[in-house]
Every structure is written in structure tokens, then in C-alpha cells.
């Protein structure tokens, strides 16, 4: 993720040259090599944190959810999780083996069916999401598990949505779940302990409402300005790490998710006119004869799954090292949409060479009403549509920053909540590579001063120095970008 800073923006616009011809860059070898993904399948726990005083968390609330008779969607046919061929379609051909590798390692599988009901006309109503999912979860821990926890991210204050889970079935047995952490976590009790190496199949029926104008966070789960943004729209299995289930409530600033690599199949039903951008790849589209269509989307190994859509999205594409790069944008932002494609394609070319191959078949950059400069998701990033009127400057920087996150956070994982410096520092370091390669050393130095050392020094003078190794909650919102990004 990247934040907008007025001071940095003015500085960069004054010091960087306008878009010029793009210098040639050494192309990656055509010989396939091991992808970064094959080297890192799950989040790293990161180093031990220095103790930083924080406000003690409030005890979690525990609210039982009444058991209800299974709805029709809860009786969805058992998914064939053993068939990995759908996931191969989301990968570059030379990296389909990554799917086999993460499946053999016990990665979670999601099969999700979701329908979006949009308000008619300009009524200002909310988009309703109705969904059901089957999850194949393997106990990769060394101890038996009595419960499986799901993150309900739309219920976080920083998302401003409302998600309800109506039915939970574990291995064909209905169970009574409970809500914890102020309704942002669901605990699904298991009928019997899940031993190490054993597999459970969990089916959940859920629904959610997308807010129109979230009051907090970055407008990443919303229906705003004609764009539906669906960050973390499904109940996501929480990470089990060396501290147990990770179910803390993150602040409303900084990144909110910390998830294991998983495999996704998504069947999405939306109005027929909607143009959809999503993680992974589209493998089928069927019209339903009632003004809707159903899309079949699949992912390679990814940490989460993101979707954005609007009726008048336009898009432009080009191919980079076997990857289809797509830029989605509203029609009035066509020039910016073309620039976003250029920035993303050039960054992908460079980072493929410097850091290792991007293994997926597609990469998307999407203009949305996010109030952050940009936000990263696996295989897709969003950039604030407010930046699309610029040439170069912060628009270019934000786009490239989010592309770099495909390596640092997505392919090589970390706990973004407790150790945000790990992915953000590597991402900013990578962004400097880009400026140096395409703009020269003077431009790179201007970026370092304008975006990194300048804000850091200003924060030092204002509040003193801080350790960079703190969790997001160790900093105020204003301090966070200066110390973590600087």
C-alpha cells in the first residue's frame, strides 16, 4: 500500500522530468527458472519485535450464532478439490508446477459462489452480496485443532461493511459458531479434533453489504462513484502461526490482511453490463437470460482474492514476458489508463529481471476510488483514480510501488500487521530500482529524498525517532508512513 503525501507530491512533481522515451532495459532470459513462488509458500513470521508500549487490547466479545437449517446454497455439491487443472489456467505454462507444490504442501482451497445485487437507478442504495463457499482446510500444525477461525474483514472498522455468516457445516455436520473480536472473527468448532495432516471441509453461507462511502479506512470494500470494490469479500481462514490463531483487530490504517497462500475458484454472478477485474484469470462466462452473467474465475497460489467492477470500465492490454498486463479505467480517465499500463508493464519487465519471474498468466492495474495512493492484492493492484490526471510523479510512483508488492508481500510473504517494514521497505527499495532504470540516478535520488528520507526526517524532528520494527499499531496514522516507508 502507498499513502498520498501533499509535500512529497509537490516535491516529486517539481523534480522529476516529464514522460519521455523509455530507455531500453535488458530483457529476462527466456529460459524458465524456478519462480519465487516455489521458494516461499506461506507467510514468514518475521523477526522478534522489540517491546513497544501499546494500549492493552480489550477482551474479545464472544457471541453465539444460532444454528439454522442449512439453506440451499449450503448444500452445494462437494467440490472436486483434487482436480488441480482449473488452477493451471491462471499460471504461465512454465510455472503450473507451483500449483502442484502448494497443493501437496496442504494449501487451503476455496470454492466460492457469490451473487451481487445492485440498487436500481440512482437510489443511493447499497450493493448486496450473497455467497456460499466450501473450504478444504488441512491441519499443517503439529497439534490437533479443535476450531478453525475465519476472518470477517468487511466487519472491520476500516472496511465499514457488514458481513453475516448464516450457516456453518463441517464435514457434513452443522455446527454452532461464535463471533469474536467485535464480530470480525468467526470461530467454527470442529465435531472432533482435527489431527495434524487431516483435512476438514467447511461450508459457509454468508451475505454482506457494501457501504457507499466508508468513514474509515481506504474505501476498499465499497460501492462508490460507480465502482464496486470487493476486498476480502469472503470469510477467510485465519493464519495459525507460532502465537496461535491470528485474530487481532488491526488499525484502520496500514494493511489489514495477513493470510496464507491458498487456491481459489470463484463463480461470480453480476449484472450483464458489468466489466470485472479480478485476481487470477477468467476461464468462462455465461449469460443467464435474466440480465445477469456468471463468471468462472480461478487463481494460482495466492494469499487472497480481490474483485473490482463497474459498467463502463475500459481496458488496455499488452504482453510482458508471457504475462498479459491489463489496465482498467473509467472512460474519462483513458489517458491515465494508458499511462498506468505503461508504468505497470515497465515495472513488471524490470522486476522479472531483478527479482525472479512473475508466475501468473495475468496482472491487472485498476483505477478505483480508494483513498490510499494504491493498494496491492495478488495479481491485481488498485491505484487511486484521483491520480490518473497526472503524468509521472506520484501516479507513476504509486503504480510501480504496488507492482513491486507482487514480489514483496504476495510471492514472498510476511505478517503485514506485525512486521509491515519487511514488505514496505523492500517494495520502496524496488521502486528506486525502477526510477534509476527508467529515469536515471538523479531522478532516483529525488525520489529517495522526496518520498523516503524527507518525510522520515520531518517525523524525527516532530516526534523523535522510532524503531522501524514495530507493528502497525505502534505508530499513529501520521507516523506510520514516515517511519515504515522512510
Beta carbons of 404 and 427 less than 8 angstroms apart: yes
Class of domain 62-311: mainly beta
Specify the higher pLDDT residue, 132 or 48. 132
Residue 166 has pLDDT above 70, yes or no: yes
User: Would you say domain 1-59+312-486 falls under CATH 3.40.640.10?
Assistant: no
Band of pLDDT at residue 2, cut at 50, 70 and 90: confident
The average pLDDT across 208-213 equals 94
The average pLDDT across 63-86 equals 61
Band of pLDDT at residue 216, cut at 50, 70 and 90: confident
Residue 17 has pLDDT above 70, yes or no: no
Residues of the chain with CATH 1.10.390.10: 1-59+312-486
Specify the higher pLDDT residue, 181 or 120. 181
- Please, what is the average pLDDT of the chain? 86
The average pLDDT across 209-230 equals 93
Segment 317-369, tens digit of pLDDT: 999 999 999 999 999 999 999 999 999 999 999 999 999 999 999 999 999 99
> 32-67 as b/e, with b when 16 or more CB fall inside 10 Å?
eeebbbbebbbbeebeeeeeeeeeeeeebeeeebee
pLDDT of residue 313: 98
Beta carbons of 225 and 371 less than 8 angstroms apart: no
Residues of the chain with CATH 2.60.40.1730: 62-311
Band of pLDDT at residue 37, cut at 50, 70 and 90: very low
Distance CA 92, CA 472 (A): 35
Q: Which DSSP state fits 44?
A: B
pLDDT of residue 456: 87
Segment 370-413, tens digit of pLDDT: 999 999 999 999 999 999 999 999 999 999 999 999 999 999 99
Kindly report the backbone phi and psi dihedral angles of residue 56, in degrees, each rounded to the nearest multiple of 5, phi listed first.
Answer: -55, 135
Beta carbons of 297 and 368 less than 8 angstroms apart: no
For residue 327, give every residue at least 6 positions away whose Cβ sits within 8 Å of its Cβ, in sequence order, or none.
315, 316, 317, 337, 338, 340, 341, 344, 364, 365, 366
Amino acid at each position: 500500500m502507498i499513502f498520498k503525501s501533499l509535500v512529497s507530491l509537490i516535491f516529486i512533481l517539481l523534480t522529476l522530468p516529464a514522460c519521455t522515451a523509455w530507455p531500453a532495459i535488458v530483457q529476462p532470459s527466456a529460459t524458465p527458472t524456478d519462480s519465487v513462488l516455489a521458494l516461499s509458500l506461506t507467510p514468514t513470521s518475521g523477526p522478534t519485535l522489540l517491546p513497544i508500549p501499546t494500549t492493552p487490547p480489550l477482551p474479545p466479545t464472544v457471541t453465539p450464532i444460532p444454528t439454522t437449517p442449512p439453506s440451499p446454497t449450503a448444500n452445494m455439491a462437494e467440490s472436486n478439490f483434487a482436480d488441480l487443472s482449473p488452477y493451471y489456467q491462471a499460471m504461465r505454462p512454465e510455472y503450473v508446477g507451483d500449483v502442484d507444490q502448494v497443493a501437496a504442501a496442504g494449501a487451503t482451497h476455496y470454492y466460492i459462489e457469490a451473487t451481487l445485487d445492485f440498487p436500481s437507478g440512482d437510489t443511493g442504495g447499497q450493493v448486496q452480496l450473497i455467497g456460499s463457499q466450501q473450504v478444504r482446510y488441512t491441519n499443517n500444525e503439529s497439534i490437533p485443532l479443535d476450531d478453525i477461525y475465519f476472518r470477517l474483514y468487511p466487519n472491520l472498522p476500516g472496511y465499514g461493511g457488514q458481513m453475516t455468516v448464516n450457516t456453518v457445516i463441517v464435514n457434513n455436520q452443522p455446527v454452532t459458531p461464535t463471533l469474536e473480536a467485535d464480530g470480525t472473527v468467526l470461530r467454527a468448532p470442529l465435531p472432533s479434533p482435527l489431527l495434524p495432516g487431516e483435512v476438514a471441509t467447511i461450508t459457509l453461507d454468508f451475505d454482506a453489504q457494501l457501504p457507499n462511502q466508508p468513514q474509515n479506512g481506504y474505501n476498499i470494500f465499497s460501492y462508490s462513484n460507480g465502482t464496486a470494490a470487493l476486498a476480502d469479500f469472503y470469510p477467510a481462514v485465519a493464519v495459525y502461526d507460532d502465537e496461535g490463531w491470528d485474530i487481532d483487530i488491526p488499525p484502520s490504517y496500514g494493511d489489514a490482511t495477513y493470510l496464507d497462500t491458498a487456491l481459489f475458484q470463484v463463480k461470480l454472478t453480476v449484472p450483464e453490463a458489468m466489466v470485472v477485474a479480478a485476481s487470477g484469470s477468467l476461464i468462462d462466462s455465461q449469460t443467464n437470460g435474466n440480465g445477469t452473467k456468471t463468471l468462472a474465475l480461478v487463481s494460482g497460489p495466492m494469499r487472497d482474492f480481490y474483485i473490482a467492477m463497474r459498467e463502463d470500465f475500459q481496458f488496455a492490454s499488452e504482453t510482458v514476458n508471457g504475462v498479459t498486463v491489463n489496465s482498467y479505467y473509467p472512460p474519462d480517465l483513458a489517458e491515465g489508463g494508458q499511462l498506468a499500463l505503461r508504468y505497470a508493464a515497465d515495472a513488471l519487465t524490470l522486476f522479472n529481471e531483478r527479482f525472479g519471474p512473475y508466475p501468473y498468466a495475468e496482472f491487472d492495474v485498476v483505477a478505483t476510488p480508494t483513498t490510499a495512493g494504491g493498494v496491492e492484492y495478488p495479481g491485481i493492484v488498485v491505484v487511486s483514480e484521483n491520480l490518473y490526471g497526472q503524468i509521472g510523479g506520484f501516479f507513476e510512483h504509486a503504480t510501480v510501488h504496488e507492482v513491486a508488492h507482487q514480489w514483496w508481500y504476495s510471492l514472498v510473504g510476511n505478517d503485514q500487521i506485525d512486521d509491515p517494514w519487511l514488505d514496505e521497505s523492500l517494495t520502496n527499495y524496488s521502486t528506486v530500482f525502477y526510477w534509476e532504470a527508467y529515469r536515471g540516478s538523479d531522478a532516483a535520488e529525488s525520489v529517495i529524498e522526496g518520498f523516503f528520507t524527507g518525510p522520515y526526517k520531518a517525523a524525527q524532528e516532530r516526534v523523535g525517532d522510532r524503531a522501524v520494527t514495530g507493528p502497525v499499531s505502534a505508530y499513529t496514522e501520521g507516523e506510520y508512513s514516515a517511519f515504515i516507508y522512510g
